[in-house]
C-alpha cells in the first residue's frame, strides 16, 4: 500500500505510481483508497433474469440439474431487447461493485426455435452494447455448444445454444472480432461449453484456433459429479484427462469451476499452468461443492474469479468465499496465503485480491490488474469512512477491504482512464441508474408478469 501516493494516468494507461508525473493536473481523492479494478472472468449476464426465481425446494431432489431446467425456461423467453436490458442491469450492478472488466461466456446465439437471426451476431452485439454503455471492459467468449450430452441431441430448450460445427463457432468469433476491432475495451475468445456439450473434436479444434490467434480459451470442467461420470462413460477419462490429451491445458486456458477433481487432475492443471476460475457464490447457491484452491495453487495453477449466474454480484465476496469455503472443509484458517507470508497481516488479503484483479485479467488474455506503469488505468476508489472499513490503517486496509468491505464503500470506478461511476453514480454520458433499473423492471414484468 502507498499512503498519499499519486496515480498518474494518460491515454487510458497508468504512467507512474508514487510521485506525481510532471505536467499532470492533480485530482485529489481525500479519504479514498485506490485499488485495481475487480474482474469477473466468467459470467452469463442473461441469468440475472432468474435471480430469486430458483430458490424453491422441489418435491424431488433440488440441485444443479433442477436449477438448470429453470434457467433453460428463462433462456427461451428472452428476445434481443430483453437480452440487452438484462445484461445492462447485470453490468451496471457489476460496476457498482467495483468490477471494471467482465468475461461473458456467451451461448445465447439463436432465436428460441434454433434459427439464426438475420444478423447472426445480434445477441452477442446486444450484450457488448450493454457492457460498453455502462463503461465496462468486456471479453466476449463465444461459446460452442453441440448437443445435450454424449449421444443425446439438444432438447428444444437448448436450441438457442446449438451450433452446427466448430467452424461455425470460429466464424462467429471472427465476425465479432471484426465488428469490435475499433474498441480496445472489447475482445473475443472461444469457449467450448463443456465436455458434456461438446464432442472431443470440437474442443480440440477450438483450442487450436484460440492458440493460433492468442485468444483466451474457457471451458466448464467438473462442476458436478454427474459431468465427470458422463465423461468417463464416453471417453474412459476424467474431463481434465480428456483436455490434457487434446492439448487444451496451458497458460492460455481457463477451466471454470474444477471442483470434482482427482489428485492427478490437480497435478495436470498445475503442471500446465492452467487457470481455474472459481465462482464460489454460484457454486454455493447450486450446491456444486468447493473448489480445492489450496491444492491447485500448490500444484502451480492460476486462480481467477467469476460472478457466473449473477445470483450475487460482489467480487470481494467471491474472493472471501474462496478462502471461507475451504475453512469450513479444512477447519483451518489462512489456507490460501502465499508461501513466505506467515505473520504478515496483509499477505492473505493481497493474494486473494490478486485473484480478483490480475488473475481475472490474465484469464481473459488482457494486461493489467496491478496498476503498474504501462497497464490499463482500470481502478476503483473506496470511501475510507464507509462503516464497513472505517478505522482501517494503511497496514490493515487491504484485509479490511477484502474481508469486510460492503458495496457501499465503492464510490468511483474508472476503466481505461474514463469514469464509469463518480461518487457512486454514473456520470453524464452514461445511462442513469434510474433508467437502467426501470428498463430492467419492465423487462422482468414482461417475462414473468406481476
Average pLDDT over residues 284-305: 97
Q: Is 62 within the bounds of a domain?
A: yes
Between 301 and 4, the more confident residue is 301
- pLDDT band at residue 86, thresholds of 50, 70 and 90? very high
Q: Is 123 within the bounds of a domain?
A: yes
Q: Which long-range contacts (CB under 8 A, 24 or more apart) does 114-119 make?
A: 114/154, 114/159, 114/160, 114/162, 117/80
DSSP label at 425? B
| Strand pairing category for 410-415 and 6-10 | unpaired
Question: In whole numbers, what is the pLDDT of the chain averaged over residues?
Answer: 95
Average pLDDT over residues 80-106: 98
CA distances from 80 to 114, 122, 127, 129 (A): 14, 7, 9, 12
10 Å CB burial of residue 417 (0-12, 13-18, 19+) is middle
Residues 198, 192: contact at Cβ < 8 Å?
yes
Coil, strand, or helix at residue 445? helix
- pLDDT band at residue 172, thresholds of 50, 70 and 90? very high
Q: What is the pLDDT of residues 244-277, one digit of tens each?
A: 999 999 999 999 999 999 999 999 999 999 999 9
Residues 160, 108: contact at Cβ < 8 Å?
yes
Residues forming the active site:
257, 308
pTM equals 0.97
CA-to-CA distance for 433 and 94, rounded, in angstroms?
Answer: 12
| Least confident segment among 96-100, 248-252, 344-348 | 344-348
Q: Is 156 within the bounds of a domain?
A: yes
DSSP 284-337: HHTT-----HHHHHHHT-EEEE--BT-SS--HHHHHHHHHHHHHHHHS-S-TTP
Q: Is 400 within the bounds of a domain?
A: no
Domain hosting residue 94, numbered range: 36-374+426-437
CA-to-CA distance for 376 and 116, rounded, in angstroms?
Answer: 36
265-269-271-272 Cα dihedral, nearest 10 degrees? 130
CATH of residue 345's domain is 3.20.20.140
Closest CA to 317 of 115, 38, 70: 38
Q: Is 415 within the bounds of a domain?
A: no
Q: Is 27 within the bounds of a domain?
A: no
pLDDT at position 1, please? Answer: 65
Q: Is 89 within the bounds of a domain?
A: yes
Q: Is 212 within the bounds of a domain?
A: yes
DSSP 345-389: TTHHHHHHHHHHTHHHHHHTT---SS--TTSB--EEEEETTSTTT
Domains contained in the chain, number: 1
Amino acid at each position: 500500500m502507498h499512503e498519499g501516493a499519486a496515480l498518474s494516468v494518460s491515454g487510458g494507461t497508468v504512467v507512474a505510481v508514487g510521485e506525481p508525473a510532471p505536467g499532470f493536473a492533480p485530482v485529489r481523492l481525500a479519504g479514498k483508497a485506490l485499488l485495481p479494478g475487480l474482474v469477473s472472468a466468467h459470467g452469463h449476464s442473461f441469468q440475472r433474469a432468474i435471480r430469486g426465481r430458483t430458490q424453491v425446494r422441489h418435491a424431488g431432489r433440488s440441485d444443479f440439474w433442477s436449477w438448470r431446467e429453470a434457467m433453460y425456461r428463462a433462456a427461451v423467453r428472452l428476445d434481443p431487447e430483453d437480452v440487452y436490458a438484462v445484461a445492462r442491469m447485470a453490468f451496471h450492478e457489476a460496476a457498482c461493485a467495483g468490477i471494471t472488466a467482465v468475461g461473458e461466456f456467451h451461448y445465447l446465439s439463436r432465436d428460441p426455435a434454433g434459427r439464426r437471426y438475420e444478423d447472426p451476431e445480434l445477441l452477442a452485439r446486444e450484450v457488448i452494447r450493454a457492457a460498453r454503455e455502462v463503461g465496462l471492459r468486456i471479453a466476449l467468449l463465444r461459446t460452442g455448444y453441440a448437443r445435450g450430452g454424449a449421444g443425446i441431441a439438444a432438447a428444444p430448450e437448448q436450441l438457442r445454444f446449438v451450433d452446427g460445427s466448430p467452424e461455425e463457432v470460429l466464424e462467429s468469433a471472427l465476425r465479432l472480432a471484426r465488428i469490435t476491432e475499433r474498441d480496445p475495451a472489447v475482445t473475443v475468445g472461444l469457449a467450448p461449453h463443456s465436455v458434456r456439450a461438446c464432442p472431443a473434436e470440437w474442443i480440440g479444434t477450438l483450442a487450436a484456433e484460440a492458440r493460433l490467434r492468442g485468444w483466451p480459451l474457457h471451458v466448464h470442467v467438473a462442476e458436478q459429479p454427474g459431468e465427470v461420470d458422463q465423461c468417463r462413460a464416453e471417453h474412459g477419462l476424467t474431463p481434465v484427462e480428456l483436455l490434457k490429451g487434446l492439448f487444451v491445458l496451458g497458460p492460455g486456458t481457463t477451466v471454470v469451476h474444477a471442483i470434482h477433481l482427482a489428485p492427478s487432475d490437480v497435478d495436470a492443471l498445475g503442471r500446465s499452468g492452467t487457470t481455474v476460475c472459481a465462482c464460489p457464490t454460484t457454486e454455493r447457491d447450486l450446491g456444486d461443492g468447493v473448489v480445492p484452491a489450496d491444492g491447485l495453487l500448490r500444484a502451480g495453477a492460476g486462480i481467477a474469479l467469476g460472478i457466473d449466474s449473477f445470483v450475487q454480484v460482489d467480487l470481494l465476496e467471491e474472493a472471501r468465499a474462496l478462502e471461507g469455503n475451504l475453512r469450513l472443509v479444512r477447519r483451518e484458517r489462512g489456507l490460501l496465503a502465499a508461501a513466505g507470508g506467515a505473520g504478515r497481516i496483509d499477505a492473505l488479503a493481497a493474494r486473494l485480491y490478486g485473484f480478483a484483479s490480475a488473475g481475472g485479467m490474465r484469464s481473459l488474455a488482457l494486461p493489467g490488474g496491478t496498476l503498474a506503469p504501462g497497464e490499463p488505468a482500470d481502478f476503483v476508489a473506496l470511501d475510507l469512512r464507509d462503516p464497513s472499513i472505517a478505522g482501517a490503517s494503511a497496514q490493515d486496509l487491504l484485509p479490511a477491504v477484502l474481508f469486510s468491505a460492503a458495496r457501499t464503500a465503492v464510490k468511483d470506478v474508472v476503466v481505461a482512464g474514463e469514469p464509469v461511476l463518480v461518487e457512486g453514480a454514473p456520470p453524464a454520458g452514461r445511462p442513469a441508474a434510474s433508467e437502467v433499473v426501470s428498463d430492467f423492471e419492465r423487462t422482468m414484468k414482461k417475462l414473468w408478469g406481476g
